[in-house]
Amino acid sequence: MASCSIEDVLAKAERDEAEKLRSITVNKELDLEFDPGNLLAFDKNRIDTREFKDSKGEDFLRSLARDNTQLLINEIWKLPTEKVEEVIVAKLPDPTTPLPREKPAPKPKPPTKWEQFAKLKGIQKKKKNNMVWDEVHKEWKRRWGYKRANDDTKEWLIEVPQTADPNEDQFAKRNKAKKERVARNEYNRLKNIARAQKIKVPGTGLAPTAQQSKSELAQAVSIAKKSTASVGKFQENLPKEKTPRNTGKKRKFQPLIGDFSSEKQKQLDLLKIMDSKKPRLDITKAVNKQMREEDKESSQKSKKSFGKKGRKGNMSGKGKGKAGGKGKGPKGKGRKPQMKQGKR
């Protein structure tokens, strides 16, 4: 009696379990393939096309989707969970579907000159703190960068050492030294890159190229000419070569404290022009220029059928006014600001 009641109890318990699980079990011929890392499920079962056509397609698809999703959810619920900030979270394994990369894997960079040396000597990188105590200003300043501590180019007083030339500018000397350090650093950085990419860099002069253009050849000739002990001063020209006169500074400014008499003369001339009643604009010149512009514009418009807007067109008044007046205005000093009676 007791035994069969135990059996009954067990059978009943089993049936109850099955009842509970009934709502979530789905019967399929073939098991689905799961990839919980990607939340992916793949159902390989054959789909009955007749069934699809009999019922309306949407309902069939929906029930199929419901079944498959149920199986996927069952699979996800089997994963280990943990509680993160009062939320239950399932930990996903790594995805198993092989997806291709976006970009190729990065190649390890070859070590720079310093890194090779450090490895050889066994020098370790020491972590330095960002701020340094500046005794002079009595505050914490950056180790390097904007407003850094112990910046020797920013000193207002430099003692001239005994051995130095009294006429030498010590401030300029420090600035120049800094510029040279910066230039050398940049040069070394580029050399490291060239070594890493295995590009041949010449010590001085031009890099070798297969086909030279006319300008590159001219450049090569001029560099070769200058590469003598006296920087090409005594080199004769080739038969048809012309000495280029455009070397040196491209813009020249008058010194601040220069020739007082010429400065005075310029100021007086300016005042005279401002007083005179003559208009600053050469009307004929301006009109001719405007007519030429308009002709050019109309020819362009007729060529291009899309009606591209002439970018030169609309600046006419101001542009011509300035161009017309440029010849007359004194050099360097301010021209009169744009006249109201310009181009009508």
Partner 1 sequence: MTHSDGIVKPKTRRSKRFLQSREPKLIENLKNSMIIKGGNTSETLSQALKDVYALKKPNAVLYKKKNMVRPFEDSTALEFFSKKSDCSLFLFGSHNKKRPNNLIFGRMFDFHVLDMFELGIEKFVSLKDVKNDTCPVGTKPMLVFAGELFDTDREHQRLKNVLTDFFCGPRVSAVRLAGLEHVLHFTALEGKIYMRSYRVLLKKSGCRTPRIELEEMGPSFDFVMRRSHMASDDLYRTAHKKPKGVKPKKKKNISHDAFGTRFGRLHMQKQDLNKLQTRKMKGLRKRRGEEPAESASPKTPRIESDV
* Sole binder of partner 1 in the list 1, 2, 4, 88 (CB under 8 A): 88
Binding mask 49-78 for partner 1 (x = CB under 8 A): x--x----xx--xx-xxx-xxx-xxx-xx-
Q: Does 212 bind partner 1 (CB under 8 A)?
A: no
Q: With binding defined as CB under 8 A, does residue 100 bind partner 1? A: yes
Near partner 1 in 188-207, by CB under 8 A: 189-190, 193, 196
20 binds partner 1 (CB under 8 A): yes
Determine how many CB atoms are found less than 10 A away from the CB of residue 41: 17
Residue 124: which residues within 8 A CB-CB, separation 6 or more? 118
Check residue 15 for interaction with partner 1 (CB under 8 A): no
* Residue burial 115-153, b: 16+ Cβ < 10 Å; e: rest: eeeeeeeeeeeeeeeeeeebeeeeeebeeeeeeebeeee
Smaller CB separation from partner 1, 94 or 165: 94
Nearest-approach distance from CB 246 to partner 1, in angstroms? 28
Exposure letters 69-85 (e unless 16+ CB within 10 A, then b): eebbeeeeeeeeeeeee
Which neighbouring-strand residues pair with 81?
90
Q: In 3-state terms, what secondary structure has residue 83? A: strand
Distance CA 291, CA 287 (A): 6
Distances (CA, A) of 121 to 16, 124, 189, 208: 75, 9, 21, 36
* Region of residue 110 (left: phi > 0; alpha: psi -120 to 50; beta: else): beta
Q: CB under 8 Å to 74, separation ≥6 — which residues?
A: 24
Q: How many residues bind partner 1 (CB under 8 A)?
A: 57
Which of the stretches 3-11, 43-51, 229-237, 249-257 binds partner 1 when contact is defined by CB under 8 A?
43-51
Q: Which of residues 242-301 bind partner 1 (CB under 8 A)?
A: none
- Measured from the CB atom, is 41 or 270 closer to partner 1? 41
Shortest separation between residue 28's beta carbon and partner 1, angstroms: 11
Count of alpha carbons within 13 angstroms of residue 154, beta-carbon side: 8
State in angstroms the smallest separation of the CB of 63 from partner 1.
Answer: 9
Closest distance to partner 1 from the beta carbon of 62 (Å): 6
Contacting residue, 13, 90, 218, 223, with partner 1 by CB under 8 A? 90
In the shown chain, the binding pattern of residues 101 to 130 toward partner 1, with x for contact by CB under 8 A and - for none, equals xxxxxx------------------------
What residues line the site for partner 1 (CB under 8 A)?
Answer: 19-21, 23-24, 37-47, 49, 52, 57-58, 61-62, 64-66, 68-70, 72-74, 76-77, 81-82, 84, 87-92, 95, 97-106, 189-190, 193, 196
